[in-house]
Amino acid sequence: MNESIQVRGLSRTFHTTVRRPGFAGALRSLVNPERVAKDAVSDITFDVAPGELLALLGPNGAGKSTTIKMLTGILTPTSGEARVAGVVPYLERERNARNIGAVFGQRTQLWWDLPVRESFSILRDIYEVPKAEHAVRIWEFDELLDLSSFWDTRVRHLSLGQRVRCDLAAALLHDPPVVFLDEPTIGMDVVVKEQVREFLRYQVEERGRTVLLTTHDMTEVARLAERVVLINHGRLVLDGTLDEIRRKFGSTWQVRATLADPHAPVDPLPPGIALLRREGPQLVFGPAEGAASPTVHQALKQVIERYEVNDVALDEADLEDVMRAAYLREVPVQAQGG
């Protein structure tokens, strides 16, 4: 098995009791409760390769956090199976805990009333990290995340950005091959967000860690992930690269080219590209209907090769608009790993 994360037909069903209105309804619910099943995750299949950062996306309530909780061993699936670094997480929780790091944006694994330094010392002992290795990792994390400026501050007095940076370092203190990040940068300012993104890029590209990220920040997705898995209503909607998703759901790009010769002939057009309008020397191109549409970057290359231009500009569909269109798709599709 070459995948760091392997998910096959993973499902999780929760059962809740329906509370009837009124006092009489409450009594009936107590004597004869009505149970309703809710599928939070249904038959999800995907793989994540070593050294890959995968964005797990979907609207609120789509099942992202439930999926991560099954992969971290917090929840047991109703059906299906999962392996993380070769371990079944909900059957071998202790072994799985040594293979993974996890950061949940609204929670901390640090001790609220202790300085950051002491929290890290406790985690070092829990994971049995040798002191020499611990010192090297702390130095490295400080270089990347600037921890020393608040090293002796109690966790309760840290800002959100400082706390999440500490949580990221704490999650990687025992050098896990797989990291789960559930909305890690929620509420952060743009400066700290970029610092965290640089840290994550370093962990994936230089350290070869596998990262599974959930986020609603499309800038984060565009800058960090090459591949995304979209789920909605607990079911897999799409598994592919950002370019594939843009082609499928965001074909509203335009290429504006200013010709060196305003009277130059336009035809023949590059394949898959239509001329939307001509404004003097400027041509505005877009995807042709009924044809395989190139990406905006492929279209740009074809336009430059076909015409002699003085200037060129790109207008690409906003990634948030693309994802919104993808979220509206209800029919599940076959995952790459299945």
8 or 333, greater pLDDT: 8
Residue 189 has pLDDT above 60, yes or no: yes
- Give me 156's structure tokens: 């309760």
- The separation between the first and the last C-alpha atoms of the chain, rounded to the nearest angstrom, is 14
What is the average pLDDT value for the chain, to the nearest integer? 85
Ranges 100-104, 227-231, 262-266: which has the least confidence: 262-266
- Give me 292's structure tokens: 């395989």
- Evaluate whether 215 touches 200 at the Cβ level (below 8 Å): no
**Top-confidence range, 23-27, 135-139, 265-269:** 135-139
Using 50, 70 and 90 to split pLDDT, how confident is the model at 334?
A: very low
Kindly state the average pLDDT of the residues 328-336.
Answer: 51
- How far is the C-alpha of 215 from the C-alpha of 168, rounded, in Å? 15
- Evaluate whether 211 touches 197 at the Cβ level (below 8 Å): no
- At 23 the three-state DSSP class reads helix
The residues, any chain, with a CB within 8 Å of residue 18's CB and separated by 6 or more, are 29, 33, 34, 35, 36
Q: Would you state the pLDDT for residue 71?
A: 95
Cα angle for residues 165, 161, 98 (degrees, 5° grid): 30
- Evaluate whether 210 touches 49 at the Cβ level (below 8 Å): yes
| DSSP string of 51-72, one letter each residue | T-EEEEE-STTSSHHHHHHHHT
Cα angle for residues 326, 49, 209 (degrees, 5° grid): 105
246 DSSP 8-state letter? H
Q: Would you state the pLDDT for residue 331?
A: 47
- pTM for this model (two decimals): 0.76
Q: Would you state the pLDDT for residue 251?
A: 57
- How far is the C-alpha of 143 from the C-alpha of 149, rounded, in Å? 11
314 or 11, greater pLDDT: 11
Q: Would you state the pLDDT for residue 244?
A: 79
Residue 114 has pLDDT above 90, yes or no: yes
Q: How far is CA 253 from CA 223, 246, 274, 301, in A?
A: 19, 9, 11, 14
> Domains in the chain, start-ordered, CATH in brackets?
5-246 (3.40.50.300), 252-316 (no CATH)
Relative to beta strand 34-48, strand 210-214 is unpaired
Counts of helices then strands in the chain (DSSP H, E): 11, 13
Q: Residue 268, preceding bond cis, omega within 30 degrees?
A: yes
189: left (phi over 0), alpha (psi -120 to 50) or beta: beta
Per-residue pLDDT tens digits for 81-94: 999 999 999 999 99
What is the percent of the chain where pLDDT is above 90? 42
| Count of CB atoms situated within 10 Å of the CB of 331 | 6
Using 50, 70 and 90 to split pLDDT, how confident is the model at 317?
A: low
Residue 288 has pLDDT above 60, yes or no: yes
Q: Would you state the pLDDT for residue 338?
A: 40
Q: Would you state the pLDDT for residue 250?
A: 65
Kindly state the average pLDDT of the residues 51-79.
Answer: 92
Q: Would you state the pLDDT for residue 233?
A: 87
Kindly state the average pLDDT of the residues 215-228.
Answer: 87
**Dmax over Cα atoms in the chain, in whole Å?**
84
Helices 160-171 and 131-145: angle between axes, nearest 10 degrees: 140
Using 50, 70 and 90 to split pLDDT, how confident is the model at 245?
A: confident
Residue 99 has pLDDT above 90, yes or no: yes
Relative to beta strand 254-259, strand 309-315 is antiparallel
Q: H or E segment at 295? A: none
- How far is the C-alpha of 312 from the C-alpha of 283, rounded, in Å? 9
Residue 293 has pLDDT above 80, yes or no: no
